A = this chain, B = another copy of it.
């Protein structure tokens, strides 16, 4: 059982002290080292396959409390379904995590993922692992918010509307995205546009998107009607259900769904009711999930660059670690309409029948 190679071994091999090894490896400007010594140390490092011990580094660096200690950033992603252990199943989370991890890695950080267990809160994990920062995705841990603040490390909330303007925030302008989608339909001649979403009760994403929908209508002088708002849950099934209800109302010519998964369900629902997409009914979704491209017809939707979200979140963390006095940031990732085949023009509704 070979013991690990330590800086002491490198020092012995190179004929110097461990301090010199450290100075060479961290090339501090506070300490000059001769080129020959540098070369000797580097040779020894290569020869012995030395890799510094992060635990020792974390431990000793905890003295000067600025800079990153552990080079470890935690990511918390909520459970998508209560009681289920599938925390990262949401396809978004994979992409997000992917870019978070990549951005961390090229900056010399690593990512620790974790949910929370009854025995250990995330605040405890953060203390235990000396986390340099935390990214919290899609939730607001209200009960422990003061504990998080006490940690005194950069924290970024992603896709979270319940901000108390203490932590950094990264998200999309959902209201603007909904405006884009609705406006796109209006510009295609639609006036009776239904809105399908998950619950708009909480002041979250769905509520914001409802506001954007109203903004667009009002911007074009179209009256908003609660009759056209269908609110259930974010699911394929609800998309079908809502579409079947909407089919009853012959005036409606278009639908804005606040999630692609709802929109794809709606396509199925309208089909069942004998409507042709996009001839009889135009649909715009939100998110641009993989399925949007594969749907029949392919779905016009509001695309959010999830990769950019992750990148922005991690870059915020790292910037804040390096300059601890940085003010709170609020970053909004741009949204764009992706035009596909689920929307058609209406020039004159009366004549088209």
Residues facing B in A47-70 (CB within 8 A) are 51-56, 58-59, 62, 65, 69-70
Complex interface: chain B residues within 8 A of A110 (CB): 112, 114, 125, 129
Contact with B along A251-286 (1 / 0, CB 8 A): 000000000000010001000000000000000000
Least CB distance, A138 to chain B, in whole angstroms? 14
Are B101 and A115 in touch, CB under 8 angstroms?
yes
- A342 interface residue per 8 A CB criterion: no
- A242 interface residue per 8 A CB criterion: no
Are B130 and A102 in touch, CB under 8 angstroms?
no
Complex interface: chain B residues within 8 A of A125 (CB): 110
Picked from B62, B87, B99, B111, the residue with its CB within 8 Å of the CB of A114 is B111
Are B53 and A1 in touch, CB under 8 angstroms?
no
- A98 interface residue per 8 A CB criterion: yes
A89 to B92, CA, bound (A): 8
- A32 interface residue per 8 A CB criterion: no
Are B236 and A294 in touch, CB under 8 angstroms?
yes
Complex interface: chain B residues within 8 A of A296 (CB): 268, 296
Complex interface: chain B residues within 8 A of A113 (CB): 97, 101, 111, 113
Contact of A98 with B85 at beta-carbon distance under 8 Å, contacts A54-B130, A56-B59, A268-B296 already known: yes
Complex interface: chain B residues within 8 A of A114 (CB): 101, 105, 110-111
Are A62 and B55 in touch, CB under 8 angstroms?
yes
Are A97 and B101 in touch, CB under 8 angstroms?
no
Are A102 and B124 in touch, CB under 8 angstroms?
no
* A75 (CB) vs chain B CBs: closest residue: B113
Are B106 and A98 in touch, CB under 8 angstroms?
no
Are A128 and B52 in touch, CB under 8 angstroms?
yes
Q: What are some 29 contacts across the A-B interface (CB < 8 A)?
A: A4-B62, A51-B124, A51-B128, A54-B55, A55-B55, A55-B59, A55-B69, A85-B98, A85-B99, A85-B307, A86-B94, A86-B95, A86-B98, A87-B98, A88-B97, A88-B101, A89-B91, A89-B98, A94-B94, A101-B115, A102-B115, A110-B112, A110-B114, A110-B129, A111-B112, A112-B112, A264-B294, A291-B291, A291-B294
By Cβ-Cβ distance, the 6 closest A-B pairs, closest first, are: A55-B58, A51-B127, A85-B102, A94-B94, A88-B98, A88-B94
